[in-house]
């Protein structure tokens, strides 16, 4: 029997066990929405396509499944672009469908036509424009495979309206058809042996673990590895929550706003073991001063990351989990007693702290209280800015995949929609959003979706009436010339929340925070907490542009 390609699309999603689609309808994608009507598929209607794509992203991050998102042609498609770039930078598996004008009109600048495959080429892992309806099932099969295997990433499929309406014989393909695409999972045995002997010889090893640990599900293997060789572990921002925040070997985050002890450990180690990380410039600072005394082992699924930014002594391409298992099977336990003690001493010498002030609420205090209340077991979504770095510094993650945040792109506005997607991905669990008034205003229209979907996300706005992170940059680099970073008008977020029928609290002192944090978590449904925090607070330590990470300053 023949069915339309639009119906086939829905069948394909069912075959891929998709449980929820985030999207926004329109003319060119009408045939697909018409088929969703009869299907049992859950559709979450965002209030802006950027909201839909970030929600699909948040959903994918917490669940490890492929996020699915739909939008119409033209403006619908271009509104997705920021979210696609965000998912691409952070290696999040996603499949996006966009409607397109009918094939006969493609290329004629017709109404709501935009070349979305062209636009999204540099920010997708792959993309397709379907020219013939019969290609659709195979393309969708391939897309889910590409998105979720190897180094994950977003795949976009553009479907002209007439293609969606054409009829095809439907059968879901059992196999992907891709000639040149085959990620390497197994680490090269010779390289593994080289790495093992380097580890056995090392006296001052450090493990530098990134988001690849989470993507490959290697948390337990990482813990075993660290414990076998007694090596301290530092996380990249994307790697946070891949190693227990309360483990004695843990050094927290490294890099530009990393802990002094993590950065010092990197600077003095004799062996750097990079796992599923990519030596981003926010991690390395001045490359020549990064791990200057160390031999470098770099294990990653993406061969192009190896040797891209730093020279590597032992490259291992493969799945980090398999590589760690191979290490663990071969390694003899090591003590590294002196080194571990030295690093422990540094942890005591330069703790990550902030100065309390009796007269003012410090933003870090709010995060500490959220941590205390949740025991580090909540999933925390953030926006971008100072508050994001404070979460990294003061919230100690005990739940794997517990952080939902825009790392590579640093995309303000990611917070609320991603928290919403995350809550849909882990319905029974606690999801909180830590944001600030600047970022929140970029996508706060999604409050409607949160209410409509009845998502009990607890929203903490660290309201400092300023674009704090940029204000900090202006303080440090521009001689306190605060250009366009003081927000002279900020809406009353309590009134805003009530307009959506959402419970709202506010706090402007430690005592109020002590009271309001438990209250917020104990209130059913979504909650907004407006925390009036001190404006001049800076994220510290800070490595200035062009400096090595051992030269952090206090700001």
Ligand X SMILES: Cc1ncc(C[n+]2csc(CCOP(=O)(O)OP(=O)(O)O)c2C)c(N)n1
Half-sphere exposure of 77 (CA within 13 A, CB side): 26
When the beta carbons of 77 and 461 are compared against ligand X, the nearer one is 461
**Region 78-117 residues binding other proteins, contact defined as CB under 8 A:** 117
83 binds ligand X (CB under 6 A): no
Quick one: tokens of 452? 């409509």
| Site for other proteins contains 308 (CB under 8 A) | yes
In DSSP terms, which residues pair with 1 in a beta bridge? none
Rounded Cα–Cα distance for residues 13 and 222 (Å):
34
Question: Between residues 130 and 412, which has the closer beta carbon with respect to ligand X?
Answer: 412
Cis peptide before 541 (omega within 30 of 0): yes
Query: Annotated catalytic residue: which of 7, 16, 49, 446?
Result: 49
Q: Assess 410 for contact with ligand X (CB under 6 A).
A: yes
Binding partner selected for residue 542 from ligand X, other proteins, none, CB under the kind-specific 5 to 8 Å limit: none
Binding site partner of 411, from ligand X, other proteins, none, Cβ cut-off 5-8 A by kind: ligand X
State how far the alpha carbon of 378 is from the alpha carbons of 115, 423, 447, 479, in Å. Answer: 40, 11, 20, 39
184 touching other proteins, by CB under 8 A: yes
Query: Per the omega criterion (within 30 degrees of 0), is the bond before 218 cis?
Result: no
Q: In the bound complex, what is the minimum distance in angstroms from residue 50's beta carbon to ligand X?
A: 10
- Tell me: does residue 135 bind other proteins (CB under 8 A): no
Instruction: Give least dist CB 391 to ligand X, A.
Output: 10
Residue 112 a catalytic site member: yes
Torsion sign across C-alpha atoms 55, 56, 58, 63: positive
Residue 173 tokens, joined: 């393909």
Q: How far apart are CA 121 and CA 153, in angstroms?
A: 12
Q: What is the DSSP letter of 134?
A: G
Angle at 254 between CA 225 and CA 353, to 5 degrees: 115
From 42, 111, 132, 178, residue interacting with other proteins (rule: CB under 8 A): 178
Enumerate the β-bridge partners of residue 336: none
Based on the shown chain and the rule CB under 8 A, indicate whether residue 304 belongs to the binding site for other proteins: yes
Distances in Å between the alpha carbon of 270 and those of 206, 266, 291? 8, 9, 8
* Site string (372-391) toward ligand X, x via CB under 6 A: -----------xxxxx----
From the list other proteins, ligand X, none, which binds 293 (C-beta under 5 to 8 Å, kind-based)?
Answer: none
In the complex, what is the shortest distance from the CB of residue 295 to ligand X, in angstroms, rounded to a whole number?
Answer: 35
Interface with other proteins, residue 495, by CB under 8 A: no
Q: Considering the complex, what minimum distance in angstroms separates the CB of residue 194 from other proteins?
A: 13
Binder among 75, 118, 292, 501 for other proteins (CB under 8 A): 118
Distance separating alpha carbons of residues 471 and 151, to the nearest angstrom: 35
Find the shortest distance in angstroms from Cβ 181 to ligand X.
Answer: 32
Structure letter (DSSP) for residue 292: T
Q: Which residues pair with 406 in a beta bridge?
A: none
Q: Is 510 in the site for other proteins (CB under 8 A)?
A: no
Select the span of 65-73, 116-124, 409-417, 448-456 touching ligand X (CB under 6 A).
409-417
Number of residues this chain uses to bind other proteins (CB under 8 A)? 23
Q: State which residue, 304 or 478, has the beta carbon closest to other proteins.
A: 304
Q: What does each C-alpha distance from 421 to 122, 162, 336, 485 come to in angstroms?
A: 25, 31, 43, 29
Q: Which of 116, 146, 409, 444 binds other proteins (CB under 8 A)?
A: 146
CB of 477 to ligand X, least distance (A): 14
Helices (H), 433-534: 437-443, 447-452, 468-477, 493-499, 510-522
Could you say whether residue 64 binds ligand X (CB under 6 A)?
no
- Closest to other proteins by CB, 151 or 532: 151
Paired sense of beta strands 233-235 and 205-209, if any: parallel
179 in contact with other proteins (CB under 8 A): yes
Binding status of residue 303 toward other proteins by CB under 8 A: yes
Is 275 in a helix, a strand, or coil? strand
The yes-or-no answer on residue 469 being catalytic is yes
Among 125, 141, 161, 369, the one annotated catalytic: 161
Task: Return the residues of window 440-469 that contact ligand X according to CB under 6 A.
Answer: 462, 464, 466-469
> What residue ranges in 199-262 does DSSP mark as E strands?
205-209, 233-235, 250-253
Q: What is the longest distance spanned by two Cα atoms in the chain?
A: 74
Q: Are strands 167-169 and 2-4 parallel, antiparallel or unpaired?
A: antiparallel
Q: Which stretch, 137-145, 184-192, 295-303, 432-440, contacts ligand X (CB under 6 A)?
A: 432-440
Element (H, E) at 45: strand 42-45
Tell me: does residue 188 bind other proteins (CB under 8 A): yes
**Does the footprint of other proteins cover residue 122 (CB under 8 A)?**
yes
> Is residue 287 close enough to count as binding other proteins by CB under 8 A?
no
Distance CA 20, CA 463 (A): 33
Q: Shortest approach of ligand X to residue 512 CB, angstroms?
A: 19
The position carrying tokens 């966009």 is: 98
d(CA 443, CA 440): 6
Written as six digits, the tokens of 233 are 């572990």
Residue 370 touches ligand X, criterion: CB under 6 A: no
Q: Rule CB under 6 A: say whether 407 interacts with ligand X.
A: no
- In the residue annotation, 161 being an active-site residue is answered as yes
CA–CA separation, 411 and 408 (whole Å):
8
- From candidates 96, 129, 195, 229, binder to other proteins by CB under 8 A: 129
Residue of 43, 48, 126, 515 that binds other proteins (CB under 8 A): 126
The residues annotated with a catalytic role in the active site are 49, 111-112, 161, 469
Contacting residues toward ligand X, per CB under 6 A? 383-387, 410-413, 436-439, 462, 464, 466-470
Contacting residues toward other proteins, per CB under 8 A? 117-118, 121-122, 125-126, 129, 131, 146, 178-181, 184, 188, 302-304, 306-308, 315, 317
């Amino acid at each position: 029997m023949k069915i339309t390609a639009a119906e086939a699309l829905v069948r394909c999603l069912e075959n891929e066990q998709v449980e929820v689609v985030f999207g926004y309808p329109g003319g060119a994608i009408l045939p697909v929405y018409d088929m969703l009507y009869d299907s049992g598929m859950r559709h979450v209607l965002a209030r802006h396509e950027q909201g839909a794509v970030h929600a699909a992203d948040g959903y994918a991050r917490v669940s490890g499944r492929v996020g699915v998102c739909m939008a119409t042609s033209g403006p619908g498609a271009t509104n997705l672009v920021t979210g696609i770039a965000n998912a691409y930078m952070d290696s999040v598996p996603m499949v996006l469908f966009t409607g397109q004008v009918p094939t006969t009109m493609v290329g004629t600048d017709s109404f709501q036509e935009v070349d979305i495959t062209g636009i999204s080429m540099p920010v997708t892992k792959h993309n397709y424009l379907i020219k013939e309806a019969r290609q659709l099932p195979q393309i969708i099969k391939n897309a889910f495979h590409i998105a979720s295997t190897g180094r994950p990433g977003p795949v976009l499929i553009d479907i002209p309206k007439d293609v969606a309406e054409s009829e095809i014989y439907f059968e879901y393909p059992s196999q992907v058809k891709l000639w040149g695409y085959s990620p390497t999972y197994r680490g090269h045995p010779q390289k593994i042996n080289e790495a093992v002997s380097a580890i056995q010889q090392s006296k001052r090893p450090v493990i530098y673990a990134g988001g690849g640990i989470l993507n490959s599900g290697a948390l337990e293997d990482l813990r075993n590895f660290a414990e076998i060789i007694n090596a301290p572990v530092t996380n990249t921002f994307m790697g946070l929550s891949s190693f227990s925040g309360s483990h004695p070997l843990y050094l927290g985050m490294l890099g530009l706003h990393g802990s002094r002890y993590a950065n010092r450990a990197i600077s003095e180690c004799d062996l750097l073991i990079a796992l599923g990380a990519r030596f981003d410039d926010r991690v390395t600072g001045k490359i020549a001063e990064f791990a200057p005394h160390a031999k470098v082992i770099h294990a990653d699924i993406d061969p192009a990351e190896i040797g891209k930014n730093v020279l590597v002594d032992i490259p291992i391409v493969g799945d980090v989990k398999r590589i760690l298992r191979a290490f663990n099977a071969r390694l003899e336990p090591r003590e590294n007693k002196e080194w571990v003690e030295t690093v422990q001493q540094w942890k005591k010498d330069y703790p990550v702290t902030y100065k309390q002030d009796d007269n003012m609420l410090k933003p870090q205090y709010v995060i500490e209280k959220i941590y205390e209340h949740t025991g580090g077991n909540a999933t925390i979504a953030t926006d971008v800015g100072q508050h994001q770095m404070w979460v990294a510094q003061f919230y100690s993650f005990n739940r794997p995949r517990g952080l939902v945040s825009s790392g590579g792109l640093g995309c303000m506005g990611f917070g609320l929609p991603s928290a919403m997607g995350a809550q849909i991905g882990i319905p029974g669990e606690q999801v909180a959003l830590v944001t600030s008034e600047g970022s929140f205003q970029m996508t706060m229209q999604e409050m409607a979706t949160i209410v409509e979907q009845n998502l009990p996300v607890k929203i903490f706005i660290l309201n400092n009436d300023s674009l704090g992170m940029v204000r900090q940059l202006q303080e440090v680099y521009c001689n306190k010339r605060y250009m366009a970073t003081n927000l002279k008008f900020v809406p009353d977020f309590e009134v805003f929340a009530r307009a959506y029928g959402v419970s709202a609290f506010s706090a402007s002192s430690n005592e109020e925070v002590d009271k309001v944090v438990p209250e917020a978590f104990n209130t059913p449904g979504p909650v907004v907490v407006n925390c009036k925090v001190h404006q001049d607070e800076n994220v510290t330590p800070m490595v200035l542009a062009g400096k090595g990470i051992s030269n952090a300053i206090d700001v």
